[in-house]
Structure 1
Amino acid sequence: MALLLAVTVIPITISMILSNHYIKNQVTEQAIHENQKLLSLGKNNISRYMETINETSLDVYNNLNTSSSLYALIERGQSPNVNAFAFDEKNNMLIYTSMLNIYQSTRGIHQIYLEIGKNRLSYLLARGLFRSGVELESEWPESKKDNPNPFVEATHESVTYALDWSSSVKKESVFTLQRPIIRTPSDQVIGYLSMDINSAELNRVCKQLTLADEEQMYIIDREQNIICAENGVGIDSVKDMPWADKVTESASGNGVVKWTDDSFSGIIIYDTLQTNYMDWIVVKQLPYSYLYESADAIRTINTSILIVFITFVVVASVFVSYHFTKPIKRLIGHINQVQAGNFNIVVPVQGRDEVGILARRFNTMIQTIKELINSEYRLEIANKTNQLRAMQAQINPHFLYNALQSIGTLALQAKAPKVYSLISALAKMMRYNMNTSETIVSFAVELNHAKAYLELQQQRFNEGLSVVYAIEPDALAIKVPKMLLQPLIENYFKHGYENAGGSGWIRIAADIAGGEWLTIRVEDNGSGVDSVKLRELHSLLQRSGAGLLEEQSHIGISNVWMRLKLYYNDAAEMSVDSAAAGGFSVTIRIPMSSELEEQS
């Protein structure tokens, strides 16, 4: 019973462990794949949004050559030779109009702050507020005053600039695009533009990138300041989080990090968003506890099923032990008797259960074994009888051959050389056929056998048969399989010979083509075959060896073709042709490079 429990429970337990591991891996891979696609989509949305804001800030450079353009005003106002108060009084409304156009061109701008020159002129525009100032302290970061490159400040509470002394502008959560205004085409900084952008739009994108409350989403810069966060911990930076260094210092633009420590355990997926004015990293955290919820549920179900199954197996094992062991032991006792050589036993059959079926099958098997023993005995007797008959049959051909030799001698003594010639031809054919120990012969030997056969046929048909030989001398020494020519020649007399209307002829040719092929051609002027039978023959030459064995209607050609495939595999070639006016030809091409082996 313990063994039955082991072979049942252990495989199921292993299966559950492997299944749980596989499900977790699949869930992880799928989550990574889907979230990478989601981050890529979100990154593109953020990039388009930020590019819109960047292009808005570049409106400063619109209409460069127009004297009333904002760029032209900044270029004049920054000059030390211009009176700042007079300039402000004269151009205040023009600057207001240009800044208002920028403010209204993009949704989400909270306030715009413009500095012309260094500590010369300052302008602030917000909803319902526009103020200007002269010779105020610069709000621009001191370390970046001569740097011509724009940059983005991380999300922060909006600044109350010096011009807003009454704090009229409501404080909002913003990020700031800081753009130095340069004198084109040089890099000389002549002013500063600060655009505070409400972070609500970025927060909306972050929210779209999180599919559940358990997922955490961050957009951070390289200084690990938070641009926006969803389901985060409510802090301004991630500098205290150990995984932040891993992400920000990564050389690759995107990746996946499997992280486990006290602060977080799960998968971190990140992608970078880089332009000339920002270097951000989009980070998403997927806790293992969230990823593996479905796998844990499946594991719980499997465990419950295992407990139920173990209970069932225990009950079934007890039942089997008490109800099946006894009849099986009785059956084993009968098997031991059979093993000792007693085949005259019969197992008593009780019931229709599996043990009863086994007993009935055992009785049937004993009966079958007894019949097989008797059959084997009869087969052994028959085999010995056949061997005796084969030995007797082997004597008869030799007797006929020797008798023909004696008759030939009498024919010579009776001065009948023609009879002697025919008997000699017949004797040669019999000797050639009886020599079963030799299956590979030279083409000269095979040709002599064909000549003996044709000599008999010429005697039969008198002047009604002509034979033509066109044999290259070099072809005679080539080794070929035995009995290639006679079946093809015999076909002519079986199917194609016509004695009426003229004499028949058959031509046997052999030559060596290019030193690589022995080409043998047997052709006649018989009745030939019609197009249907010719197609059948072409189909026959495309069959495998098994299909050739089943052929009954073209035995001669199929026999020759099968033996060619046996000796040469697919290297040898055979083709047939028949003209509409009559005649039939068979062409065989044998590769001379193939070395033949005797087939036993």
Structure 2
Amino acid sequence: MFAKWMMKLSGPFRRSIRNKLILTMILLATLPIVAITGLAAENSRRSMETEVINTNLSNMKWTGVYLGDQFTQLNNLIYTVMISPHLSDYLASAEEPNLSSQFTAQRNIIDTLTNLFYSAGNHVVGVEMYLKEYNKLFTVNASRNDIQSPAVVPAPYKQLFDRDKDFMITTDSSDGTKFQLIRSINRFENQEKLGGISLQIRWGVLDQTLDLLGRGNEHTVFIAGADGKVLYQPWGSAPASGTLSRIADTGESQGYFRSDHEYVFYNTIDPVGLKLVTVIPDSFINQSAMATMNFGLIVGAVSIGVAVLVAVVLAWRLATPIVNLARYVQGFGMMKEREVRLSNRVDEIGLLETKLDQMSHRIREHIRTEYIISLEKKSSELKALQAQINPHFLQNTLQMIGSMLFKNSPAESYGVLRSLSDMFRYIIREPEDLAPLRAELNHLNNYMQIQQQRFAARLDYRLQVDEGALNSLIPKLTLQPITENAFFHGLERQEGPWELEVKVSRTGEDTLIVIRDNGVGLEPDKLAELQRRLTSRSGKLWTYGERIGLSNVASRIHLHFGGSYGIQVESREGQGTTVTVTIPL
């Protein structure tokens, strides 16, 4: 299917040198412009890509510095509690039996945490301190100010102790807009973890700094933990899991990588170790470069249009004389009488026109001579075939009539003579070599009437005809020789009843005539040899011998209708033979 489509598409260029020249000129004129325009557009896109990469790497670096400063300030808030003398007093008096001293120490801790909460700003929404040895949880926020003894270690602090970390940042599971900055309280002598202090902070405290990265319509900005899990994402679509895995696996503190259809920039936020990530899609760079590319494309399109116009004009002027010469050669006929025409051109094409006309005149004379000789040869061959057929039928049929006159009634003998008379009238009086199938079947019926008279007790003859095929033309004496061969080669050597069936049908634009007998059939080697002779194109119209062979009939069909028509033979030894004649409908 694809090959046919390509042949149809390339047809106008294969048949016309003008179209080839026009196409070649267009390609030579446009390909360099297209290549230059494409390279310019690609260079513009790459320049924009380099600018975007460098700009974002710089923005990521400075934004990371500012975020680090913010986390440092938050961390310093925790240090104000850790260095507070009230915490030391509480740790020293917690084991004293004096309840008054313990209460005073706890009150001082609450006051310290309260001062931290109100001095930290609006983004700090809560302060906690947990002391593991005494199982005390101090909580200060806008709605609470108390001390608890939890049944189990609170989850954030347990995670801090189990992982033996000095600080952690976790997202609030109940509210994604907040996070906890937790730092452990260590014993100075052996760094044993005594507890931890945490600040509950709104992520929004970082938004003003994150705005330094720009808020593109398709940009994605988020802060991820060391494991690649997203902790805070102020805007953009959710990142792909593959992107998060590559961020977690990277060992560099700052850089970028390109994934499917996007650029990913990352930077480590000191001192907390979080990852600041910006994801920019390819379309952002393409859109940024589009303005420059559009100008180049417009200039390129105008240049291509001018180049195509110039190429078409030049190709048309160069190819027109050649096309005119081709049309002239196509126009003169080899069998048509005409005078030698002199060209009005004085260049090489004019010389070709004059010489071609002279050559065509000489070829025309030669063809006329060969054509006349060929016609006379074919006429002689057909006449020789006709002369071969007549004695053959006369010999076989008169021998049968002579035997019938002694044992049959005059009416039966007259019927046979009438059939014989009609057969010879068809053979001798019809000058044309082609006859309607209707006339050929009548001739066959006359022959079969004689055979039925001869073999009435043994022969079963059936004829089935499609009336729509009776006007098909067929070479004269095609069917009767086939049935005669059926008797001679098949039925006469077959014991028992004889069957001979002739069926005429239409198949598409063809007429099929099937002649089947139940004779002795053909041996495989003889069948193969017969099929080879039937498909050969030897050009002979007859073979030598006493009978008209199937190859004679096949050669005549090939002569009139071409190689796609002819005779096919199928036979099985002991079961009969089927001969199929194919002619145009």
TM-score interval, normalised by the smaller of the two chains: 0.3 to 0.5
Structure that is richer in helix per residue: 2
Tell me the TM-score normalised to structure 1 length. 0.45
Tell me the TM-score normalised to structure 2 length. 0.46
